[in-house]
Chains A and B, each alone.
Chain A
Amino acid sequence: MFVLLPLAAVVIRSGGDGAAAFWASVTTREAVSALELTVGVSLATVAMNVVLGTVIAWVLVRDEFPGKGLVNGLIDLPFALPTIVAGLTLLALYGPKGPFGLSAFAFTRLGIVLALLFVTLPFVVRAVQPVLIELDREMEQAATSLGAGGFTVFRRIVLPNLTPAMLSGVGLAFARCMGEFGAIVLISGNLPFKTEVASVFIFSQIESDNVTGAAAVSVVLLVVSFVLLLAVAAAGRLRARHED
């Protein structure tokens, strides 16, 4: 009740003026460009996440070095750090007033991706890590003894075992990217048609009292996140059955 009632209000409000009005609201040039940008930066972010998240998980499980426990603990920091602080933090280092005086990141799409990488860092790492720990190393040893090289072993044996975990991490990270607001709002500069993502667009529509427009774009986000959730849940069930 507590969750569904308000969300239902958004859906109903978005369709309040008829389907044509809903369609008109989500197809304004600004709304379309915001949604396109959001999907684009989210895809870029999860693509980076898959590769680097898996590398980090692998290093944390298979490698040994001093300070590993500390690094492992810090992975969860983006979940604990308030998103607005994350945004400010990145701006402090990579903004025009930072020590490098970089303006390549602040108020650009690159900056948005950077912010998203920060907040979604733990998803893939924490999804892959337990699977990698459980993975039977005898398979890999057998492959090596049969003459397979390191890369072949990874591609043919490790990767297929990790894929379901990677996908569920990616699904969650993508859902997070689509809706992220706090970390982005400071670093993106929120220029319409350039660096305005969907959540920031919705916020500015609420501020300018265009609630119907805000609700319409919200519904698009809601549908995406709901589909992703169901997909991740289905993938999880599939994996559970596979293990049985």
Chain B
Amino acid sequence: MRTSRRARLGLRTVALAYLGLLLAVPVAMVFYRTFAHGIAPAWAAVTTPDAVHAFWLTVVMVAIAVPANTAFGVAGALVLVRRRFPGKAILNALIDLPFAVSPVVVGLALVLVYGRTGWFGTWLADHGIQVIFAPAGMVLATIFVSLPFVVREVVPVLREVGAEQEEAAATLGASGWQTFWRVTLPAIRWGVAYGVVLTTARALGEFGAVSVVSGKLAGQTETLPVYVEQAFQNFDLAGAYAASVVLAALALLTVLSMNLLKRKEVR
């Protein structure tokens, strides 16, 4: 289409102005607010005991949820692509369900299963295991909401590479594990890596589901996003902004690695 120069400039202005007002300026604003009085107060705001505890709890969530979902994601993608079984189309649609379900509903669902009055509630209480209002429930919530990312990234790559090399390896006498480690995994590694980055981002930032199951006990069951909300509600704006900046910096890092990985994938 030979678009006139004026139309093109117009569209460019609209697009950039919209992105600026919606994305760039607000994010820059939070950075500005945080560091408006210098670095020392911001540093003090993110190193309160509760904030530090929230940060490490978030790291623990990520450290459990990401490996769990990576293993599940690769296995799930292999089953979805390489096997045929009845109900495959339904399973395929169900995998995406955690994306479409409201995080609050996810939290409620976990309470109804693992909570005090939930399905497994009595059994868990008898064995002295607390899931809801405890880190265990928060891990479950985090795993739930970030479940589909690795599957979704690996499925198209598996389709693309096809099964020929795996079959060749098998005819040459490689065992299932050997084929997986030597042939399949190297072929899908960038897809897996991309999925891992997305999973990490979601696990770091999950708020809705975690806040339902956590009980939001300061210094105990607060992740960094929950800490941001609690600080804001308690009029501790400096703390809320400073913790937000930590999360925003991690998000920018995520976006950067996404772009680098995409470039690798294309190559």
B193 near A: Cβ within 8 Å? no
B147 to chain A: which residues have CB within 8 Å? Answer: 2-3
Neighbour of A92 across the interface among B16, B26, B201, CB < 8 A: B26
As a 0/1 sequence over residues 235 to 250 of chain B, the CB contacts with chain A under 8 angstroms (1 = contact) are 0000011001001100
Q: Is the CB of A214 within 8 A of B108?
A: yes
Q: Mark B220-239, 1 if CB is under 8 A from A, else 0.
A: 00001110110010000000
CB distance from B133 to the nearest CB of A (A): 12
Interface string of A160-199 (1 = CB under 8 A from B): 0000000000001001101111100110000000000011
List B contacts of A9 (CB < 8 A).
109, 112-113, 118-119
B22 touches A89 (CB 8 A): no
Stretch at the interface among B2-10, B163-171, B173-181: B2-10
Which of A73, A114, A199 sits near B256, CB closer than 8 Å?
Answer: A73
A222 near B105 with CB under 8 A, answer yes
Contact with A along B3-32 (1 / 0, CB 8 A): 110011001101110110011111101100
Minimum CB–CB distance for B241 against chain A, Å: 7
Report the Cα distance A84→B255, complex, angstroms. Answer: 18
The closest CB in chain B to the CB of A203 belongs to: B104
Asked if B212 and A203 make an inter-chain contact with CB atoms under 8 angstroms apart, the answer reads yes
Q: What number of residue pairs across chains A and B have CB atoms under 8 A from each other?
A: 241
Given contacts A88-B240, A88-B241, A222-B105, contact A82 B100 (CB under 8 A): no
With A88-B244, A198-B102: A73-B108 Cβ-Cβ less than 8 Å = no
* In the complex, A6 has a CB within 8 A of chain B: yes
Q: Chain A interface (Cβ within 8 Å of chain B)?
A: 2-7, 9-10, 13, 52, 55-56, 58-60, 62-63, 65, 71, 73-85, 88-90, 92-94, 98-99, 114, 117-118, 121, 137, 140-141, 144, 150, 153-154, 158, 172, 175-176, 178-182, 185-186, 198-200, 202-203, 206, 211, 214-215, 218, 221-222, 225-226, 228-230, 233
User: Would you give 8 A-B contacts (Cβ < 8 Å), ordered by A?
Assistant: A9-B109, A9-B118, A71-B16, A82-B228, A172-B99, A182-B205, A218-B104, A233-B92
B residues apposed to A, CB below 8 Å: 1-4, 7-8, 11-12, 14-16, 18-19, 22-27, 29-30, 33, 92-94, 96-113, 117-119, 143-144, 147, 198, 201, 204-208, 211-212, 224-226, 228-229, 232, 240-241, 244, 247-248, 251-252, 254-256, 258-259
In addition to A2-B147, A84-B205, 4 A-B residue pairs with Cβ atoms within 8 Å of each other are A56-B18, A59-B15, A80-B201, A93-B26
